[in-house]
C-alpha cells in the first residue's frame, strides 16, 4: 500500500528495537545493575491479512489460524522490582521513581523511556503519525463501498456458494466464529482453500488492492506536508538506530 512508504520496514523496525535494547542496557549498566533486556530475533514478515487470507499454503495447513511466531519465545529472566523501577522509571504499583536507591537520577521513563526518546531524536510528530494512521484506516473503509470492490465481493460470494459455503464477503469467512478453535478443523481448512480459489478466480485481491491504493494515493497528496514531516522523522530515527548498533552492537 502507498501509505507504507511512511512506515518503517520490518528490517528497520528490528534495527530500532535492537538499538532501543542496546541503549537501555547501557543505561542499566550505568546504574551498576546486572540485569539486561534480552535482544529479540529479527521480525519475520508474514503475509498481510488486510483482505483476509492471501496465502494458499497457510490456508491449506492452518485455515484461518495465524502461523505461530517464528523462533518461539524462550524463558527470560525477569527484572526485580528495584531493577524495574530504574528500567521504567516507576514502581510496579505505578509510583514514579526519580532517583535510584543510591541517589542517582533516573531519566524520565526510566532507561527504556530514555532509549526511546534518544532514538526519536526530538519531539515525536504525534499529529503526523495520526494522519498516516487515519489514511490507513479510512482508505480501507472507503474501499468497502467502492462499486468495483462490491462487485468483486458479489462474484466471490457466488463462487463460494458453488463450493458449498455461504459468506457475503471475505471478512465474513475469516470472522466465522465456528473457527474459534484451538486448532484449525478440516472444514476450516476447506473453507480457507475455497476462499483462496475464489479470490484467484474473481481477481478480488487485485481489484481490491488497486482500488485502495488509488484512494490512498489521493489522500497522501492531500496530506503531503504531514507525511513529509513523518518521513523525515522516520529517516532520522533509523539513522540514529544504526549509529547505536554500530557503537554498541557486537
The answer on pLDDT for 158 being more than 60 is: yes
Give backbone dihedrals phi and psi of 101, rounded to 5 degrees, phi first. Answer: -55, -30
- Identify whether the C-beta of residue 152 lies closer than 8 Å to the C-beta of residue 145: no
Span 122-150, pLDDT tens digits: 999 999 999 999 999 999 999 999 999 99
DSSP state of 177: G
Torsion of CA 191, 196, 201, 206, to 10 degrees: 140
Instruction: Tell me the per-residue pLDDT of 37-89, one tens digit each, with 9 for 90 and over.
Output: 998 776 665 667 899 999 999 999 999 999 876 554 444 688 999 999 999 99
Q: What is the DSSP letter of 7?
A: S
**Mean of the per-residue pLDDT values of the chain:** 93
State the Rg of the chain over Cα.
Answer: 23
Q: Give ∠ CA 67-41-182 in degrees, rounded to 5.
A: 25
Dist. CA 248–CA 250, nearest whole Å: 7
What does the pLDDT read at residue 250?
Answer: 73
Reported pTM: 0.84
* Residue pLDDT, tens place only, 9-30: 999 999 999 999 999 999 999 9
Amino acid at each position: 500500500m502507498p501509505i507504507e512508504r511512511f512506515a518503517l520496514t520490518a528490517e528497520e523496525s528490528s534495527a530500532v528495537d535492537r538499538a532501543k535494547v542496546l541503549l537501555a542496557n547501557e543505561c542499566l549498566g550505568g546504574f551498576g545493575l546486572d540485569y539486561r533486556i534480552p535482544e529479540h530475533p529479527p521480525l519475520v514478515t508474514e503475509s498481510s491479512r488486510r483482505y483476509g487470507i492471501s496465502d494458499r499454503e497457510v490456508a491449506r495447513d492452518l485455515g484461518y489460524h495465524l502461523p505461530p511466531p517464528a523462533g518461539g519465545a524462550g524463558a527470560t529472566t525477569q527484572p526485580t522490582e528495584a531493577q524495574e523501577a530504574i528500567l521504567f522509571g516507576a514502581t510496579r504499583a505505578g509510583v514514579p521513581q526519580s532517583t535510584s536507591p543510591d541517589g542517582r537520577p533516573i531519566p524520565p521513563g526510566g532507561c527504556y523511556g530514555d532509549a526511546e526518546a534518544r532514538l526519536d531524536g526530538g519531539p515525536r510528530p504525534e499529529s503526523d503519525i495520526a494522519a498516516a494512521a487515519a489514511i490507513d484506516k479510512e482508505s480501507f473503509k472507503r474501499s468497502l463501498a467502492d462499486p468495483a470492490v462490491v462487485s468483486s465481493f458479489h462474484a466471490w460470494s457466488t463462487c463460494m456458494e458453488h463450493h458449498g459455503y455461504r459468506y457475503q464477503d471475505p471478512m465474513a469467512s475469516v470472522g466465522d466464529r465456528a473457527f474459534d478453535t484451538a486448532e484449525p478443523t478440516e472444514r476450516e481448512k476447506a473453507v480457507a482453500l475455497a476462499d483462496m480459489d475464489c479470490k484467484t478466480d474473481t481477481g478480488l485481491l487485485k481489484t481490491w488492492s488497486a482500488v485502495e491504493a488509488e484512494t490512498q494515493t489521493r489522500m497522501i497528496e492531500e496530506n503531503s506536508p504531514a507525511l513529509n514531516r513523518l518521513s523525515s522523522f522516520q529517516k532520522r530515527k533509523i539513522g540514529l538506530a544504526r549509529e547505536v548498533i554500530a557503537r554498541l552492537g557486537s
